[in-house]
Chains A and B, each alone.
Chain A
Amino acid sequence: MSFANIAALTIHDVKNKLASIAGVAESRGDQDTVQAIIEVADTLTRLLVFYRAEHDTLYLNINSHTPEDLISELTTNHYGRADISIASNTNEAPLMWMYDELLIRMILENALQNASRFAKNRILISAREIEAYLEITVQDDGPGFTLNQLVDNDYHARVTQEGTGLGLVLARHIAALHTNNQSQGRIELSNQNGAVFRLLLPA
């Protein structure tokens, strides 16, 4: 058995254990612990997805979904920061769009987790249609991205105690796998009174 196989089985096992610990925490009403466990599990999910992406076995399961549903599901969480507000704006969101919901959810969860680490008071997640793209933006009021992060596309930044930067690499990869008629998805980072993470998916 290869290391990759053993790693996959181990991750699977650990996630099951995490799920059962989360179950206990939730039954006690301990939402903070539940949230912390989910974040750990998400890290493991990213690791698995990264492995698949590297071996070209990450296949998209693209279907039509309602962005508003996804965003309202994502904003039910606090991402470990009960002290900040997480608002959403889906007024200009299209009713349907084509994407792999599981992977896009993973990207956005990661973006929200990052934002919650740096936000002072609030995070805004919004969706709208712009020039045949679905644009989903995660904005915080923190210090913003560093210059290196803004300049270099493949920058494995935020390799800090806070995270590995894997999330951003994966986000770029998954966005780029969303293609249709010469158009391709992408991630754009900018600063505007805080960090702005934009995910663009082609129609």
Chain B
Amino acid sequence: MNKPISYQDKHVLIVDDMADMRSSLRSQVGSLDISNVGVAANIRDALELLRHKRFDVILCDYYLGGSTDGQQFLEYLRTTKIINRATVFIMITAETGYESVITAAECLPDDYLLKPFTAETLRTRIQRLMEKKLRLQVIDQLHEKSAWFDIITACDEIIAERDRYLIDAMRIKGNALIMAGKNDEAMQFYEHVISMRAMPWARLGLAKAMDAKGNIEMAKHVLNNLISDSPQLLSAYDLLGKIHTDSGDTKAAIGILDRASNVAPNSLARQRSIAVLAEQTGDFKRVELALTTVLKKTKNSPLRDQSDYAKLGNAYLEMNDTSKAISTIEDAKSTFKGVENLHILSAIEAQALYKTGDIKLANEALERALEGSTDGITDETAFAIAKACLVNGRAETAADIVKHVLQNNPESEEIKKTVCIIYKNHGGDVAAKELIENSTQEVVALNNEAVLKAKSGAYGEAATMLTEAAFRLPNNIQIVANASLSLLADVLMNEMDSSKIRQAKLFAQSIAKANKDHPKLSEISRMIKKIQAKYQIETPL
């Protein structure tokens, strides 16, 4: 069991703001015969090292001197996927209190080390964690592929062996059941775990499965009890907040997140969620409060985000405080000096400058916002640019941008609501509804035209048309599904073309990602079977 793992090829990263701690950690790590050691004094240096090399172990001090702490850093690394599940992250802290705040399960460090500790302690801990990673390696790799059914099977094997990783495997299995959409099984599984021991993660999992199943009231009940028993379990607040948000009770959602913020005032993600919710309810004072906290904590840190500045600037515009809006943007511009893509900031700037009456400068800012490619810009950025266009009298450009977002998110009520908000001072609901209607009609017309083409035998043309539209509107499932079907119909009716089949399958995969039970998916696989039969292909396509 305690077969020593070779450290020779392991890479260790040390992150600590204090020079003497860095050197003593370095010599401790060195005494374990690990020679591949990276040392960083701050997050910026650490990120630079992580960009170039994969590390097996990260030893990070909780206090990093600046505004960002080790937990925020860990959350950032995990959410941006800079490190994956195979990386061991050890948090070094001077107190026992830190770990009593339990954040989201996926953002827990693998272990805590209480200062001071000996090289021998460090060695045993690293060894233990390496053994665990090795045991769970297969499952970690399956996670990269989101192969939930395989993960469940792999967990069942470990559970059957009842080795020391039993509880880890149970935890992973529960989550995989939910991810695989097996909500009934997940509920049963968690009930079973809870009957052995009411572990907080199992109760949280149960609530998650209930929510996924649509048993909202039961989920709320479980979560409220859980929060009163384990007030430090932040992910319980987050889930309850999400349930309130989903059911449209934004106020209650903000209230829950506020309570969580009292437990852990340093979580950036939570403050950002509060800002988003408050923006929806029109409570811009609250947006200001949440985002000034975030800006303070991320100032000059690599964890800073343009969107925070843009949202804050927008909140000031909504509160008619133009000068604060402008100073926020100025602040952002100096913070993001040298960053190429500042579309969203320019869009807010254009609106603010217009309000000050400086039309010329406002137009220049708008040009900057519209500059370059719009590929891959977020809906949030697109809406900010559209708003700037409206304010600056470029209604047509605004309509084009908004239409694209609408057509790309045909099912989203939230997007429609946002469009109404944007057009509040530019024709109001009437204008917004008309735009929404036009957007829908355009897509319907495109679909109909393609169908007619196909009926007249022009399968190739129909496929080209729909494929082009699917690339333009990758989130419009209807279009993507029809593109997939039209490509397959083209192959079925005309000739075998493996590149068309490949594209059709890629489209199908992206549909499955959004909704694996989408009815069009079975239509697509029936079509593939027909092709297989017609061209007498042995191996499955």
Interface set of A (CB-CB < 8 Å, partner B) = 8, 11-12, 15-16, 18-20, 22-24, 26-27, 31, 34, 37-38, 41, 45, 48-49, 52, 57-59, 61-64, 66, 69, 72-73, 76-77, 95-96, 98, 102-103, 106, 180
Contacts and interface: CB of A to CB of B under 8 A. Distances in A.
B167 A63 contact: yes
A12 B94 contact: yes
Nearest to B124: A73
B465 interface: no
A59 B166 contact: no
Given A15-B94, A69-B128, A76-B121, A23 B116 contact: yes
A45 B112 contact: no
A95 B21 CA distance: 35
B116 A37 contact: yes
B455 to A, nearest CB: 62
Contacts of B18: 16, 20
Contacts of A103: 96
Nearest to A41: B116
Interface stretch (B22-30, B39-47, B405-413, B490-498): B22-30
A195 B418 CA distance: 71
Contacts of B119: 26
Interface in B99-122: 99-100, 102, 112, 114-121
Contacts of B167: 63-64, 96
B115 A15 contact: yes
Nearest to B94: A15
B337 interface: no
B100 A61 contact: yes
B99 A23 contact: no
Given A15-B115, A59-B232, A72-B124, A48 B95 contact: yes
Interface of B: 2, 18, 20-21, 23-25, 27-28, 94-97, 99-100, 102, 112, 114-121, 124-125, 128, 162-164, 166-168, 197, 199, 230-232
A41 B199 CA distance: 31
B199 A19 contact: no
Contacts of B25: 23
A171 B102 CA distance: 23
Nearest to A31: B118
Contacts of A38: 116-118
A118 B387 CA distance: 77
Question: 5 smallest A-B Cβ distances: which pairs?
Answer: A23-B24, A64-B167, A19-B116, A22-B116, A19-B115
7 contacts: A16-B18, A41-B115, A45-B95, A66-B164, A73-B121, A76-B121, A95-B164
A48 B24 contact: no
A49 B197 contact: no
B335 to A, nearest CB: 30
Contacts of A73: 121, 124-125
A96 B166 CA distance: 9
A78 to B, nearest CB: 11
